[in-house]
Chains A and B, each alone.
Chain A
């Protein structure tokens, strides 16, 4: 099992890129009053049929040829549900997929959000041809990172140029700190 929610997010977002998505939207929202931590990962990739969407939460279902199990999604579902939360996958062939995981924020079994900034950074630098819209919300405060806006400014300067990559790291960490005041999540 993953030790942090951010690793589950990395895993599912990798699925989205493999589905050929050109835009992956990741939302992480903490609502202390409702006692919820909500994660949604939406993509415009190839999507799945209704049958596949139902099967994907089965650990013994996978489209891979290299092995017989696909554990990423089932583990994510289990992690959310064991905190009194919920999990859903909606998909449409040819349109895309939305994965929604709701965690009970204060539940003792909720794994930490973990290093979400590292996840976002890894996704952005490993998939230079995919756009990501990342929204981080903590109650009323929030910030966004939209790679399309970055690309507009940078032109053909790649994201893995040292100055740009340092900027992305700082952008994520400073804005997150300002949004959640350093709360342990």
Chain B
């Protein structure tokens, strides 16, 4: 069984390495809808993909990935909202793991909103 010893070792290793977490108002927040509608349509893998990308690329100082409740657009779930300080909120709809990766590269890293996937460009009746 994996024990807590390894966790202690991680702590020792990181002693002194932990940088001050960037203040929340400076970070871009990535919100993944996690109400029943979101979970049922596949939000968990979308959140995991985004979470892993941010962590593996050591971007936790710039981005925080978290969940949010029902946005009221259940038919468009999974939904990802990007809240960049000082900028307008961008809502991506019908997300998948692949699209999430694209949004990460193009929008979050590259600064270019992926217009095709946004709510604004969808034909809402």
Interface residues in chain A, defined as those with a beta carbon under 8 Å from any beta carbon in chain B: 1-2, 7, 10-11, 14, 18, 64, 66-67, 70-72, 75, 115, 118-119, 121-122, 125-126, 143, 149-150, 153-158, 160-165, 167, 170-171, 174-175, 178
With A118-B48, A153-B8, A162-B58 as contacts: A11 and B36 at CB distance below 8 Å: yes
Asked whether A174 lies within 8 Å of B44 as measured between CB atoms, the reply is no
Q: Mark B38-63, 1 if CB is under 8 A from A, else 0.
A: 01100010011001001110101000
Nearest-Cβ distance from residue B77 to partner chain A, whole angstroms: 12
Quick one: which of A167, A175, A178 contacts B7, CB cutoff 8 A?
A167
How many B residues touch the partner, as a band?
A: 35 or more
Asked whether B39 lies within 8 Å of A157 as measured between CB atoms, the reply is no
Instruction: Give Cα distance in the complex from A156 to B56, angstroms.
Output: 20
Asked whether B1 lies within 8 Å of A71 as measured between CB atoms, the reply is no
Residues in B whose Cβ lies below 8 Å from that of A175: 1-2
Q: Mark B16-39, 1 if CB is under 8 A from A, else 0.
A: 001001000000000000111101
Residues in A whose Cβ lies below 8 Å from that of B6: 167
Asked whether A10 lies within 8 Å of B34 as measured between CB atoms, the reply is yes
Interface residues in chain B, defined as those with a beta carbon under 8 Å from any beta carbon in chain A: 1-2, 4, 6-8, 10-11, 13-14, 18, 21, 34-37, 39-40, 44, 47-48, 51, 54-56, 58, 60, 65-67, 69-72, 74
Asked whether A160 lies within 8 Å of B34 as measured between CB atoms, the reply is no
Asked whether A10 lies within 8 Å of B44 as measured between CB atoms, the reply is yes
Quick one: which of B10, B39, B67 contacts A167, CB cutoff 8 A?
B10
Quick one: which of B1, B13, B74 contacts A67, CB cutoff 8 A?
B74
A contacts with B: majority SS: helix
Instruction: Give Cα distance in the complex from A161 to B65, angstroms.
Output: 13
Residues in B whose Cβ lies below 8 Å from that of A75: 36
Instruction: Give Cα distance in the complex from A122 to B67, angstroms.
Output: 9
Quick one: which of B8, B11, B39 contacts A7, CB cutoff 8 A?
B39
Residues in B whose Cβ lies below 8 Å from that of A70: 36
| Given A157-B11, A162-B56, 15 extra CB contacts under 8 A | A2-B39, A2-B40, A11-B35, A14-B34, A14-B67, A64-B35, A64-B70, A71-B36, A118-B48, A119-B44, A126-B65, A150-B4, A153-B7, A153-B11, A156-B18
With A66-B72, A160-B55, A161-B14 as contacts: A10 and B39 at CB distance below 8 Å: yes
Asked whether A7 lies within 8 Å of B55 as measured between CB atoms, the reply is no
Asked whether A160 lies within 8 Å of B4 as measured between CB atoms, the reply is no
Instruction: Give Cα distance in the complex from A167 to B4, angstroms.
Output: 10
Instruction: Give Cα distance in the complex from A102 to B74, angstroms.
Output: 28
Residues in B whose Cβ lies below 8 Å from that of A162: 55-56, 58
Asked whether A122 lies within 8 Å of B2 as measured between CB atoms, the reply is no
Nearest-Cβ distance from residue B99 to partner chain A, whole angstroms: 18
